[in-house]
């Protein structure tokens, strides 16, 4: 019979048959912990995406308002609809556009930005209805309006 081999320090090496690995219970616990961590990280990342889109919508509304004002400076009147920023309307003398690209007329969620001229308390209103695309709402579904 073969004797177990020894290291330089004199201790015995274990044979492969006597070495133990992870038990099934230990593997399941590790997988559950990894799944919990991934769920936490995933929810944080997805929440950050909505926050980023809301901030982008605020900036986009302000930028679009500047483009409407540029149109007004060039033509002497407000556009009748936002598409007038992209293609010249028939009655717009002095139009020096395009002032915007078609993609800029939609909010970060893909909903069209609402334009009203005249506005409620100013010459025009620009509104993004948020993530749900409906008036009102809270949090990421809240309306974002040019002020």
**pLDDT digits over 56-103, tens only?**
888 898 999 999 999 999 988 899 899 999 988 888 788 887 899 999
CB atoms within 10 A of CB 106: 14
25-145 classified as CATH 3.30.700.10: yes
Render the burial of 60-98: b for 16+ CB within 10 Å, e for the rest: bbeebbebbeebeeebeebbeebebbbeebeebeebebe
The pLDDT value recorded for residue 16 is: 59
Residue with tokens 């320090």: 9
Tell me whether strands 114-116 and 125-128 are parallel, antiparallel or unpaired: antiparallel
Residue with tokens 């015995």: 12
The pLDDT value recorded for residue 14 is: 60
- Residues 6 or more apart in contact with residue 109 via CB below 8 angstroms: 53, 57, 128, 130, 131, 133
Region label for 125, one of left (φ > 0), alpha (ψ between -120 and 50) or beta (otherwise): beta
Taking only the tens place, the pLDDT of each residue in 16-68 is 555 567 788 888 888 999 988 888 777 666 666 777 888 888 889 899 999 99
Greatest CA separation found in the chain? 105
Helices (H) and strands (E) in the chain, counts: 1, 3
Rounded Cα gap, residues 75 and 79, in angstroms: 9
pLDDT interval class at 115 (50, 70, 90): very high
Coil, helix or strand at residue 8: coil
């Amino acid at each position: 019979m073969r004797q177990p081999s020894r290291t330089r320090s004199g201790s015995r090496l274990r044979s492969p048959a006597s070495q133990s690995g992870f038990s099934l219970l230990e593997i399941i616990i590790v997988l559950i912990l990894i799944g919990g961590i991934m769920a936490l990280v995933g929810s944080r990342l997805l929440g950050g995406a909505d926050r980023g889109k809301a901030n982008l919508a605020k900036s986009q509304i302000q930028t679009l308002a500047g483009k409407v004002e540029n149109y007004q400076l060039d033509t002497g009147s407000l556009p009748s609809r936002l598409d007038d920023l992209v293609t010249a309307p028939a009655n717009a003398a002095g139009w020096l556009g395009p002032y915007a690209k078609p993609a800029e007329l939609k909010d970060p969620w893909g909903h069209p930005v609402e334009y009203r001229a005249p506005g409620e308390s100013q010459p025009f209103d620009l509104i993004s209805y948020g993530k749900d695309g409906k008036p009102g709402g809270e949090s990421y579904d809240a309306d974002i309006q040019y002020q």
